[in-house]
Structures are given as C-alpha cells and as structure tokens.
Amino acid sequence: MVNYDDGRPDPDILLENIRTDEPKKTGKLKIFFGYAAGVGKTYAMLDDAREQLKSGVNVLVGYVEPHTRPETMQLIDGLPVLPPKVVNHRNIQLKEFDLDAALKIKPELILVDELAHSNADGVRNKKRYQDIEELLNAGIDVYTTVNVQHIESLNDVVQDITKVNVRETIPDYIFDNADKVKLIDIEPEELLIRFEEGKIYRPERTETALKNFFSKENLRLLREIAMRKATNRISQDNQNEFHMAEKSAGSKFLVCVGSSPFSAKLIRWTARTADVFHAPWVAVYVENIESQDFTESEKKNIRANLDLAERLGAKTTTLNGDDVATVIAEYAKLSGITNIVIGKSRNKKTLKNLFEMDLEDKLISLLSSIEIHIIPGRSAQRSYRKPRRLHIRKNLYLSWLDTLKTFVLLTTATLLSMGMRALNIGDHNIIMMYILSVLIVSRITMGYLYGIVVSVLSVLAFNFFFTVPYYTLNTIQPGYPITFVIMFFVAFITSALTVRIKIQARLAVERENRTGVLYEINKKLLTTRGLENIVALTNEYITKLFGRSVIFYTQNPENGSTGTLLQSSSETDSSFLLSEDERAVAHWVFINQKRAGAGTDTLMG
C-alpha cells in the first residue's frame, strides 16, 4: 500500500478530476431521409431500432406519428414506448413528444419521428429539432426522419416544383451535421401504387394528394433533389480537407437582405450556391434613414431574414449608411467578396425613382471585378408595396405646436414681403423670402407634412398678395404660371432635403453615441479586475445601451447563484427577472449553451 502523506497528489483524485474535466459526451444523430411521405422512412427507422435492441442497446421509442401505416406500427411491438405528452391547444388535446420524460429516463438510443414538426404552444421548444438537440447534448443517440421538402435551403425549389408552400422546415446545419444520413428510396410508380391502395393516407385525403403534391412529375423531381442532396453530403465528407482549402482562397458570396419577405428566397439561393462551391457567405443588411420608420412587420421580417441566414450557415452583418450601394461596395472590397446576390422586382417608375440609378447598376459601376447575381422576384410579391406606402405616411406628423409654428412663420414671411414691396424691392426677393420660410419650417417641424403644406401655401400667398390683380388667385402676366411651378418645386425639394439632412444628423448622433458607449466599455473592461466588477460594469452599459433592466448570472442558478440585477431608470419594476420562470430559462441556457427566452424559439413565454 502506498502512502501519500508526503505531499504528493493522490492519483485517484487526479484521475477523478480529469474525468470531471472531460468534455461532455454528445449523442449521435441518424436521419432517415426521403423524398416524400410513404417511402418507408419510419419503417426503416423502426427496423434498424429492433436490430439495435437485439444487440443489447437500450432503445426507447420517444414518438412516432399516429397516422403511420399499419405495417409500420407492427414494428413497434416489443419496443419500449414513451407515453406522449398531452397538450391543450385551443380546446383540442394534442399529443406531443415528452422531452422531459425522455431526459429523465436517458436511454442509449431514442426514436423521434418527424424532425421538422412544429410543437404546440405550451411545449418548451418551438420546433422538434430543438428537442432533438437537447437529447444529443444529454449524450443520447437519436434516430429521426425527414423529407427533402423540409430542408430550409431547398424550400423555394420545392415550392416552385409543387406549388405548395411547406411551412415546417429545419436548418441545413441539422442535416449537414448529422452523423449518419440514410436515403430511403423507392420508385415513384411504386409510391403511387401505395397511395392508390390507401396505404399512406386515408381515402378522403388520397385523391386530393394525388391531384396536387403527389403527381408523378413532382415525385420524380423531388426524388432527384433528394438524391442530389444526399450525394453532395457524401462528396463533402470525402473531400473535406480540399473544401476547407477552397474556402480560404476561392469564392465568397454576399447576399443583400432587406425587410421584404422576398429576401428569404435570396438567402436560400445563396446558401445553395455557396454550398455547391463550398464557399463562405455573408448576409448584409444596410440600415439607413428609412429604417427608423419601418413598421413592426418590416422589423420582424428583417430579424427573421437575418436569423434564417444564420441558420443556413451565413455570417450576418448590419451596416450603416445612406447610400446602400456605396456601403455594400466598400464592405465587399474590404471583405474579399467575389459574388453579390441581390433581388429585383419589376416596379413601375415613379417621380421619386425616375431619375435614380437602380441598385444593381450602381453596384456594377462601383464593382467592375465582382459578379452580380440578380434574382427575380415573384409577381405575387408586388403586393408587398403596401407597407412602403404606410412607411411614407408615417413621416407625416401632425401636431398643434408645429401647426402654430408654421402659421407664425408663413404670416411673418408675408408681412416682411409686403414691407419689401412697399420699398419697391423686386419679386424675386419676395420669392426667396418664401423659400426661406419653407426651409425654416422644414427645419423646426417634424416630418415632411409641414414642408409640403408651406410649399403649396407660399405659392398661393405669392399669387394672392404680390401678383396683379392683387388679392385674387388669377394672374394676367403670362410668365407667372411658370414662376409658380418653379417656385413650388424649389420649395418642395428644399423642404425634402432639409428634412432628410435633419434625420441624417439625428441618426449620426445616435450612431456616435452607441459607438462612444462601446468604446468606453471596451476601455474600462481592459482595466477592470475581478469578476464582480466586470459583471457590474457590463450590467451598467447594457442598461445604458438598451434602456432595459438586466440580470447577469455567472453561475448556473440551479447551483444557488442569485445573479446580479440592475434596474433601468426607464422601468418601474424589474422584479420579474428574479422569478422562478426566469431562473429556469437561465438554467436551461447554462445546460444547453444556447439562447432562450422571449424572441427565441425556446421558452418563448
């Protein structure tokens, strides 16, 4: 027996510490992949699971869709089955996969059907693939199934073929990072026979399905896409080292993202193309003057588009600048971009854009050595122009104070002009006086409304008070109508430019303030020592930047950590951050190392 009282470390203790520090084992994911419902994915999954059970693996059937075919359901006999979780949704009882029960049992292998399924409200995660990620993080191997139409980057391709918008999708990284993908394939003719025999859907659904999604032509094309996807995965695995070398010296794609839902199509096209070239890609959104007046729907679209790009493997960047083309061009030059993807819809020419150069023309003139890919929008997307009209109206503010300012300034300009006429000063100086009043009104009022109104009223006032015959809206001099038109356009353009400069100045101040705060916190973090001081400093600046209360956990709250709370001056009560529900969200984040809470797909409440 060895004595360790001489101060040497005990090997058993060292070994235990090493085991504790070892990275947590993650489970392996196997996807049974098909091109349509009924090809036999679930059957193959259950058959494989029975073989694993015979080999001594601890297998559990977590969830299998209840509409699965009778022949398939027979394979469940003899396999341990997890009871589903019953969720009340709009007075209807739905059966969902019980994630918490599965994590408590912790089998070696669990079967969870329908990877792209959307969970009912009240379940922790919004999507089933997020449930599976938790199982994998817990060290549990997972078998699951998915069809080609549910892969996010192929969503538009499938929609163009089938004319069906598939809403339930999974991010490509789930498929790409799976440990094994098994392609389940049968001939389309054989699948159609199964349909006609009623082995896939109930008779009342079969006829509708055959007329729409499950036509022979659709199935043939979907099968081809599924095979290509599986082949690309095999090719990428076999040539991984070569691909990594290509990424550093080959193509690099940039996709321009906006508030339009059409941006999702651009993102998916870029993801597919970058995947073919094995090239990195970035999604860029340019924030300009118009961004501040976006509707909630448009802001939500921007967030959704950037989230989609991240899920498909892109790096996302938000830039600031008034001229979108110039900002993108400068970023492309600095980042080594070789290909730029933009969308193009055929819009009618208006007075506003008649003399403006299109975005793609600007980019071509600024970036002669970079390829520009223009993706046409669908004609159906033209209805999206409605929010743009609402956005223009949103700049038209009305208030008593601004009305009073406008009235006083217009009256003052008229009185001064009368004084100038009494001194025999020419009409051109009176016109300049009114243009000056338009400029001042545009500067001291909010939005475009008062500048437009004063532009019209100044022309009418000049006509009424200072042209012969006086005090009428008629004029006998032939040149005056042209003078009125020119005067109106000069006043109107002056008003618009003044408002635009004012907005630019405000945005510049806001950007400068944010940059100053970030620079200040960066400088202080370099000199701050001690975890408590760093947390306090971080809380202070997050509160300053976002105007929201913050609670900061340095340890898992499950271990007794209470967190550091800092309440914002703009909020009256931040005690909800100390509730058990919020602590549970923080605990989940520590366990899974992912975002959760409001604004995410996990624990949204």
Shared-domain flag, residues 108 and 212 = yes
Q: For residue 230, what pLDDT is reported? A: 87
Strand spans (E) along 471-547: none
**Lowest-pLDDT choice from 209-218, 233-242, 275-284:** 233-242
Strand spans (E) along 211-312: 253-256, 281-287
Q: How confident is the model at residue 275 (pLDDT cuts 50, 70, 90)?
A: confident
User: What is the H or E stretch that residue 214 is in?
Assistant: none
Shared-domain flag, residues 354 and 472 = no
CB 43 within 8 A of CB 75: yes
Q: How confident is the model at residue 295 (pLDDT cuts 50, 70, 90)?
A: confident
In the predicted model, is pLDDT for residue 462 greater than 70?
A: yes
Number of domains in the chain: 4
3-state secondary structure of 359: helix
Q: Is residue 74 part of a domain?
A: yes
34/430: higher pLDDT: 34
Q: How confident is the model at residue 448 (pLDDT cuts 50, 70, 90)?
A: low
User: What is the H or E stretch that residue 33 is in?
Assistant: strand 29-34
Going by the DSSP 8-state scheme, the letter that residue 439 receives in this structure is: H
Q: Where among 238, 257, 287 does a domain terminate?
A: 238
**Lowest-pLDDT choice from 9-23, 216-230, 579-593:** 9-23
Mean pLDDT of 423-437: 78
Q: Where among 394, 421, 442 does a domain terminate?
A: 394
Q: Is residue 521 part of a domain?
A: no
Shared-domain flag, residues 340 and 203 = no
Question: Which range marks the domain in which residue 387 is found?
Answer: 247-394
C-alpha span between 240 and 604 (Å, rounded) = 37
Q: Is residue 194 part of a domain?
A: yes
Q: Is residue 517 part of a domain?
A: no
Shared-domain flag, residues 62 and 195 = yes
pLDDT per residue as tens digits for the range 136-184: 999 999 999 999 999 998 888 888 888 888 889 999 889 988 999 999 9
Closest CA to 171 of 139, 133, 137, 122: 133
Shared-domain flag, residues 359 and 377 = yes
- CB neighbourhood size of 512 (10 A): 10
Mean pLDDT of 321-328: 84
Q: For residue 63, what pLDDT is reported? A: 93
Q: For residue 1, what pLDDT is reported? A: 46
Closest CA to 495 of 354, 394, 399, 396: 396
C-alpha span between 178 and 136 (Å, rounded) = 11
240-to-171, 244, 250, 269, 277 alpha-carbon distances in Å: 21, 6, 15, 22, 13
Q: Where among 394, 417, 432 does a domain terminate?
A: 394
Residue 288, phi then psi, degrees to nearest 5? -130, -165
3-state secondary structure of 239: coil
Per residue in 120-153, is it b (16+ CB within 10 Å) or e — as a string? beebbbbbbbbbbbbbbbbebbbbbbbbbbbbbb
Amino acid of residue 202 = R
Closest CA to 34 of 186, 262, 170: 186
User: What is the H or E stretch that residue 178 is in?
Assistant: none
**Lowest-pLDDT choice from 272-281, 335-344, 377-386, 460-469:** 377-386
CB 410 within 8 A of CB 464: no
C-alpha span between 308 and 331 (Å, rounded) = 21
Going by the DSSP 8-state scheme, the letter that residue 317 receives in this structure is: E
C-alpha span between 330 and 367 (Å, rounded) = 9
In the predicted model, is pLDDT for residue 303 greater than 50?
A: yes
Q: How confident is the model at residue 235 (pLDDT cuts 50, 70, 90)?
A: low
In the predicted model, is pLDDT for residue 202 greater than 70?
A: no
Shared-domain flag, residues 31 and 176 = yes
Which residues is 602 bridged to in the sheet?
125
In the predicted model, is pLDDT for residue 425 greater than 90?
A: no
Shared-domain flag, residues 264 and 231 = no
Going by the DSSP 8-state scheme, the letter that residue 350 receives in this structure is: -
In the predicted model, is pLDDT for residue 8 greater than 70?
A: no
Mean pLDDT of 404-410: 85
Q: For residue 112, what pLDDT is reported? A: 95
Going by DSSP bridges, is the β-strand pair 29-34/141-147 parallel, antiparallel, or unpaired?
Answer: parallel
Shared-domain flag, residues 156 and 37 = yes
Q: How confident is the model at residue 340 (pLDDT cuts 50, 70, 90)?
A: very high
Per residue in 271-299, is it b (16+ CB within 10 Å) or e — as a string? bbbbbebbbbbbbbbbbbbbbeebeeebe
What CATH number is given to the structural domain containing 260?
A: 3.40.50.620
Q: Is residue 233 part of a domain?
A: yes
Shared-domain flag, residues 498 and 458 = yes
Q: For residue 134, what pLDDT is reported? A: 93
Q: For residue 56, what pLDDT is reported? A: 93
CB 81 within 8 A of CB 115: no
58/278: higher pLDDT: 58
CB 255 within 8 A of CB 265: no
Amino acid of residue 167 = R
pLDDT per residue as tens digits for the range 367-395: 888 999 998 875 444 443 433 333 334 45
Shared-domain flag, residues 230 and 255 = no
What CATH number is given to the structural domain containing 190?
A: 3.40.50.300
Q: What percent of the chain has pLDDT over 90?
A: 25
pLDDT per residue as tens digits for the range 94-132: 889 999 999 999 999 999 999 999 998 878 899 999 999
Closest CA to 442 of 400, 501, 499, 404: 499
C-alpha span between 307 and 126 (Å, rounded) = 15
Shared-domain flag, residues 143 and 44 = yes
Q: Is residue 357 part of a domain?
A: yes
In the predicted model, is pLDDT for residue 243 greater than 60?
A: no
Q: How confident is the model at residue 216 (pLDDT cuts 50, 70, 90)?
A: confident
Shared-domain flag, residues 431 and 448 = yes
Q: Is residue 4 part of a domain?
A: no
C-alpha span between 491 and 451 (Å, rounded) = 8
Going by the DSSP 8-state scheme, the letter that residue 536 receives in this structure is: H
Give the largest CA-CA distance in the chain: 122
**Lowest-pLDDT choice from 223-237, 328-342, 490-504, 542-556:** 490-504
Mean pLDDT of 243-268: 76
Phi-psi region at 57: left, alpha or beta (left = phi > 0; alpha = psi -120 to 50): beta
DSSP 161-224: HH-------B-HHHHHT-SEEEE----HHHHHHHHHTTSSS-HHHHHHHHHTTT-HHHHHHHHH
- CB under 8 Å to 121, separation ≥6 — which residues? 87, 89
Q: Is residue 520 part of a domain?
A: no
